[in-house]
Amino acid sequence: MAEMGKGTVVERATDQVLVEKLSDPHTIEQLIRLLDKLEQVTFLLDMLENFLRRGPEIADSINDLVVLLRQSLSKPEYVTRFEQAYAAISHLQEFLDSPQVQELFKSDVLDVRAVQIVGKVSRAMIQASTETEQTGTKRVGILGLMRALSDPELQPALNFVLHFAQHLSRELSDA
């Protein structure tokens, strides 16, 4: 009988400690955070349980991959391919790390607008080259040049060239 009383006293002491801990504001805050994330915790535990359940299947797949790699490495052509791929990646890394490429990345050369303008200029050059090949070269005098300057189709290009010259001049003087 005396032992039953001791158990009750220990239970009450344990209950009192539990009530004190649950009354602590820090504990309350942590419990609220846990309850807020309970759905995520449950999802994470389900995922972990599924992963552990599929452990043998995953291990078998990794084992099959290792066997396949060992078989492939025994063939000289695969070793050569891996060596070539590694060498290509190494050269690519050296290229990307070079000061010239790093400076290129810092410049505005790769700006979308610059690339679009270069594309437009390239298409215009190709079309002009094709037309010149088809029609042949014609002699253009000063009067023909004056007439061409007043052509409304040429005005956007002339404005572009003039603005380009102005801004290039500023860039060169800043350099």
CB 89 within 8 A of CB 83: no
pLDDT at 72 over 80: no
Q: Give the model confidence (pLDDT) of 15-59 as tens digits.
A: 888 888 888 889 889 888 888 888 888 888 888 888 888 888 989
Q: Give the model confidence (pLDDT) of 106-146 as tens digits.
A: 888 888 888 898 999 999 999 988 988 888 888 889 998 88
- pLDDT over 90 percentage in the chain: 20
What is the pLDDT, as a whole number, of residue 99? 92
DSSP 63-130: HHHHHHHHHHHTSHHHHHHHHHHHHHHHHHHHHHHSHHHHHHHHSSTT-HHHHHHHHHHHHHHHHHHH
Q: Where are the domains of the chain?
A: 145-175
126 vs 132: CA distance, rounded Å: 10
